[in-house]
Amino acid sequence: MAEIKCIGILTSGGDAPGMNAAIRAVTRAAIYNGLSVVGIKRGYYGLVYNDMEPFTSKSVSNIIQQGGTILKTARCKEFATVDGRRQAYDNMRAAGIDALVVIGGDGSLTGARIFAEEYDIPIVGLPGTIDNDLGGTDQTIGYDTALNTIIEAVDKIRDTATSHERLFFVEVMGHMAGDLALNSAIASGAEAAIIPEMETEIDQLGDLVKRGFRKSKNSAIVLVAENPTTGGALGLAQRVKEEFPEYDARVTILGHLQRGGSPTAADRILASRMGVEAITALREGQRNVMIGIKNGELVYVPFVKATTHVRTVDHQGVDIVKILSI
């Protein structure tokens, strides 16, 4: 296997708080180990259209606390084509890059797997997404910050919900994964969580609404994971209005504010640990794996496992919401 001398780093797909901490950790760990680093702009766009620059230790100064990504991110259609990836490979080689660290979600890591297989390039991925929807890892970088952002917002919504004695459906992100909705429901004391892993029929919804709005309570908050097939919070509120017109139901869609903000300590530490491990992995000859965390230990997860796992219902979490919302 050829010796790795230069690492390219990119962030791709949806941005997540902690991506900068990961960029910093990868860059500094590489330089510490005598490797050079190239920062690739706007995800795979930078590879396809040759937008990259050499990184020094100073390039990543003062960014650990910043949300977003200094490398920018994008969704690059061209990289999903054979011609686009050939262009990317040519540019990468011309820049002297021997290996890549890709920080992103399941789409980005799927692209990394295909690229690595096609051109036999060592690539290590870091799970950078607020959705917590990757296999083989208990947490993704950005998830903890997004959870904290959500509960801060829900605490505020609770004040107005209580004052007006209203039912609120609060929609959160998740990209067909219910972790953000379920765990923010637990952390904010919400009455229920509607997650894509479980089908919610209208009678269950009625049950949830009645349970949340019993006489001892004067407001109810239901956390809803985004879900294009059911219409998310707007779809649910519409169903409630039709079936239970006695309730004053309102909808708040938190949207992109969930992506922003300074990363929490947990996300900064996770990103720093994973970033350093990415360089260790490459130096040890690992390739085509994502760095994950399982029971507090860093693990190597093959890209295919990280991106194709089947989601299951967190029954314990569902029970906790139910038990604690009596």
Of 8, 105, 125, 212, the one binding ligand ATP by CB under 6 A: 105
Closest to 227 (Cα-Cα) out of 158, 177, 288? 177
Q: Which of 6, 63, 80, 266 binds ligand ATP (CB under 6 A)?
A: 80
Helix axes 315-324, 179-188, angle to 10 degrees: 30
177 or 236, CB closer to ligand ATP? 177
Query: Strand, coil or helix: what is 260?
Result: coil
Catalytic residue among 15, 131, 133, 267: 131
Question: How far is 38 from 92, CA to CA, in rounded Å?
Answer: 10
Q: How far is the CB of 128 from ligand ATP (least distance, A)?
A: 7
C-alpha closest to that of 270 among 120, 58, 128, 95:
128
Shortest gap between Cβ of 15 and ligand ATP (angstroms)? 8
Rounded Cα distance between 142 and 256, Å, is 13
Interface with ligand ATP includes 311 (CB under 6 A)?
Answer: no
Q: What is the maximum alpha-carbon separation in the chain?
A: 70
The two three-digit tokens of residue 166, written as one number: 């209203």
State which of residues 18, 31, 106, 289 lies at the interface with ligand ATP (CB under 6 A).
106
Q: How far apart are CA 55 and CA 27, in angstroms?
A: 7
Nearer Cβ to ligand ATP (177/208): 177
Q: Which of residues 162-221 bind ligand ATP (CB under 6 A)?
A: 175
Task: Strands of the chain (E only): list them.
Answer: 6-11, 36-40, 52-55, 99-104, 123-127, 167-172, 192-194, 220-225, 249-253, 289-294, 297-302
Choices 106-114, 203-211, 266-274, 289-297; region in contact with ligand ATP by CB under 6 A = 106-114
- CA–CA separation, 206 and 78 (whole Å): 46
By beta-carbon proximity to ligand ATP, the closer residue of 44 and 247 is 44
Which one of 11, 29, 38, 79 is in contact with ligand ATP (CB under 6 A)? 79
User: Could you say which of 27, 110, 149, 288 contacts ligand ATP (CB under 6 A)?
Assistant: 110
Instruction: Using alpha carbons, select from 116, 181, 115, 111 the residue that is nearest to residue 143.
Output: 181
| Residue number, nearest CB to ligand ATP | 107
- Our CB check for ligand ATP shows the closer of 111 and 317 to be 111
Provide the mask over 127-166, with x wherever binding to ligand ATP is found by CB under 6 A and - wherever it is not: --x-x-----------------------------------
User: Considering CB under 6 A, how many residues would be counted as binding ligand ATP?
Assistant: 19
Question: Is residue 116 at the binding interface for ligand ATP, with CB under 6 A as the rule?
Answer: no
98 catalytic residue (yes or no):
no
Q: Which of residues 43-62 bind ligand ATP (CB under 6 A)?
A: 44
Measured from the CB of residue 246, what is the shortest distance to ligand ATP in angstroms?
39
> Where on the phi/psi map is residue 43: left (φ > 0), alpha (ψ -120 to 50), or beta?
left
DSSP 8-state assignment for residue 26: H
Binding residue (CB under 6 A) for ligand ATP from 17, 104, 135, 196: 104
Cβ pair 60, 271 in contact under 8 A: no
Rounded to 5°, the CA angle 59-64-66 comes to 95
Q: Which residues belong to the active site? A: 131
Residue ranges that bind ligand ATP, judged by CB under 6 A:
12-14, 44, 75-76, 79-80, 104-108, 110-111, 114, 129, 131, 175
